Amino acid sequence: MYKEKTILAIIPARGGSKRLPRKNILPLAGKPLIAWTIEAGLGSKYLDEVVVTSDSDKILEIANNYKVHIIKRPPELATDTASTIEVVEHVLSSIDKKFDFIVLLQPTSPLRTAKHIDEAIELLFEKNADAVISVCEVDHSPLWCNTLPEDLNMSNFLPKDVKGKRSQDLPKFYRLNGAIYICKTDKFLEEKTFFLNKNIYAYIMDRKYSIDIDEEIDFKLAKVLIKEIL
């Protein structure tokens, strides 16, 4: 609870993954990947309850070792086409309590800590916001990106005002890093998204905490970075 408002954390962990099989239970620095996010949620000063939702008995078995609420996800919400929004709605309809805010913590962001969660919640209330989403600075400016024609001609690849500029002279760009999504519950249910149309703010995280594991190379990078953080 923070400032008399109740806050629920939801960790969605599907059993299947095509690009990196069984990624949510792969061992990272001595514990399953999902354990890092569960421990971050439980370490928060402000979260009232942490829920793990999964179709996988193995994932739910791991989660059951912690003081979290577990929800078995129906098969139709464990497909490649099932949306996170549907999964969150299923959780909200499966629990008896009502919460003022929900926090989505994806298990593929193992380097996000309890401190990050608490800072994002504090920012939410500082801004009197309806939603806060975590971001990080991009590795390379999108101003240096473009599509290519079939003949690979680069004559028009860069705009004139970008040519010759150093990276530090270009404006900073940020991307969603997938680590933290916070939203007022009634607003989420109304708009069916964490990315609300208004009164939404960014919580900026350092890139080294922003790894989002999707492929094997991401997992290898996480193994390197986590040694620095531990």
pLDDT at 11: 98
Per domain, the residue ranges of the chain are 7-136+175-223
The residues, any chain, with a CB within 8 Å of residue 61's CB and separated by 6 or more, are: none
Q: pLDDT: is 166 or 84 the higher one? A: 84
| Dist CA 160 CA 25 (whole Å) | 48
Mean model confidence pLDDT for the chain: 95
Q: What is the pLDDT of residues 30-63, one digit of tens each?
A: 999 999 999 999 999 999 999 999 999 999 999 9
What is the share, in percent, of the chain residues with pLDDT greater than 90?
Answer: 86
Which CATH number applies to 7-136+175-223? 3.90.550.10
**pLDDT at 94 exceeding the cut of 80:** yes
The residues facing 51 across adjacent strands are 10, 69
pLDDT at 5: 97
**pLDDT at 135 exceeding the cut of 90:** yes
pLDDT at 228: 86
Q: Terminal CA-to-CA distance of the chain, rounded, Å?
A: 28
pLDDT at 129: 98
The residues facing 201 across adjacent strands are 132
**pLDDT at 163 exceeding the cut of 90:** no
pTM, entire model? 0.94
Show the tokens assigned to 68. 């979290």
- 23, 219 Cβ separation under 8 angstroms: yes
Helices (H) and strands (E) in the chain, counts: 6, 9
pLDDT at 7: 98
pLDDT at 187: 98
**pLDDT at 6 exceeding the cut of 90:** yes
Mean pLDDT of 55-72: 95
Specify the 3-state DSSP secondary structure of 177. Answer: strand
CA 26 to chain centre: 18
pLDDT at 164: 82
Nearest alpha carbon to residue 105 among 59, 55, 57, 44: 44
**pLDDT at 117 exceeding the cut of 80:** yes
pLDDT at 19: 80
pLDDT at 18: 78
